[in-house]
Amino acid sequence: MFLAIDVGNSQTTIGLIENGSVERRWRLKTDRLDTSDELDAALRSFLALDGIALADVHAAAVASVVPVLTDMWRNALAHALGKEPFIVSAAEVRGIEVAMPYPSQIGADRIADAVEARGTYGSPAIVVDFGTATNIDVVDARGRYRGGCIAPGLMLSASALFEKAAKLASIPIEVPPAPIGDTTEHALQSGLVLGVAAQAEGLVARIKAQLAAEEGVDGIDCPVIATGGLSRVIGQATDVFTAVDVDLTLRGIWRIWQAR
């Protein structure tokens, strides 16, 4: 079995993969103060709770956007597994051409999304990843990673709104019954959830138009995949997505490790 670790700014997702399929997944809050010993203990606890022996894990890879935790996870996995994990980097990724001037600036999770989108859904493809930030990543018709868009994520926007607006309080993050909110709660849900969905629709439409213009065609049809922690909620608010694939990033880490 293979361990894929996706270290995000807010949450870290750990996936246990066998034959390309995510068999188990665990989440923990990303804490920049975590030590390698604490991460080692957390990993062992997750595996033990599901009755999985460390000896059954043959390799691991880490895609991290938190540099200080990259080294902590490297040390934790080396101690737990007795071997160094593979560290995903867009600057050194194999199996996909990065058609951007500064590959080292690309988040490891973004390149993992792009690689897996191309591998599973073909190219061109568009991925919308709903995390701390909303990332949109684009694979063009030639199978190259082209970049995309980065915007504040839904929860980041919600937290800022609740902090700065004295009369507004936290609400359940779910699709409202209608765009016109008849209560403050529904109005907030409309602005936040439907607003993020509308943002995705608008940006996807502009990206498709650019891809079509580059290919010299009137329009382009390509899969649009939603992933990330809030993808299921946003997916209920729009029909722009071809698929909601919550394990896309974890499988992308595994696919990059295979091509190393």
What CATH number does the domain containing 6 carry? 3.30.420.40
Residue 100 lies in a domain: no
142 and 32 together in one domain: no
The annotated binding site for ATP is made up of: 6-13, 132
246 and 128 together in one domain: yes
Answer yes or no: 221 catalytic.
no
Query: How far from chain centre, in Å, is Cα 8?
Result: 8
161 and 235 together in one domain: yes
Query: How far from chain centre, in Å, is Cα 9?
Result: 11
What region, left, alpha or beta, does residue 208 occupy, with left being phi > 0 and alpha being psi -120 to 50 degrees? alpha
Which 3-state string (H, E, C) describes the chain? CEEEEEECCCEEEEEEEECCEEEEEEEEECCCCCCHHHHHHHHHHHHHHCCCCHHHCCEEEEEECCHHHHHHHHHHHHHHHCCCCEECCCCCCCCCCECCCCHHHCCHHHHHHHHHHHHHHCCCEEEEEECCEEEEEEECCCCCEEEEEEEECHHHHHHHHHHHCCCCCCCCCCCCCCCCCCCHHHHHHHHHHHHHHHHHHHHHHHHHHHHHHHHCCCCCCCCEEEECCCHHHHHCCCCCCCEECCCHHHHHHHHHHHCC
- The 10s digit of each residue's pLDDT in 170-205 is 888 999 999 999 999 999 999 999 999 999 999 999
How far is it, in rounded angstroms, from Cα 31 to Cα 38?
Answer: 10
Residue 101 lies in a domain: no
Residue identified by tokens 């937290």 is: 159
User: Between 229 and 238, where is the model more confident?
Assistant: 238
pTM for the full predicted model: 0.94
- The 10s digit of each residue's pLDDT in 202-217 is 999 999 999 999 999 9
Which residue of the set 37, 40, 56, 109 is catalytic?
109
Mean pLDDT of the chain: 95
How far is it, in rounded angstroms, from Cα 189 to Cα 53?
Answer: 43
Closest residue by Cα to residue 152 from 131, 169, 183: 131
Per the structure, the count of domains in the chain is: 2
83 and 194 together in one domain: no
pLDDT at 166 over 80: no
Residue 259 lies in a domain: no
Q: Do 66 and 30 contact (CB within 8 A), yes or no?
A: yes
pLDDT above 90: percentage of residues in the chain: 90
163 and 83 together in one domain: no
What region, left, alpha or beta, does residue 176 occupy, with left being phi > 0 and alpha being psi -120 to 50 degrees? beta
> Considering 36, 68, 87, which residue would you say is the last residue of a domain?
87
Structural domain boundaries enclosing 15: 2-87
Confidence of residue 27 (pLDDT cuts 50, 70, 90): very high
What single-letter amino acid sits at 213?
A
Residue 105 lies in a domain: no
The annotated binding site is made up of: 6-13, 107-110, 129, 132, 184
pLDDT at 83 over 80: yes
> Considering 43, 71, 87, which residue would you say is the last residue of a domain?
87
Residue identified by tokens 């493809």 is: 125
140 and 204 together in one domain: yes
142 and 239 together in one domain: yes
pLDDT at 125 over 80: yes
The annotated binding site for K(+) is made up of: 129
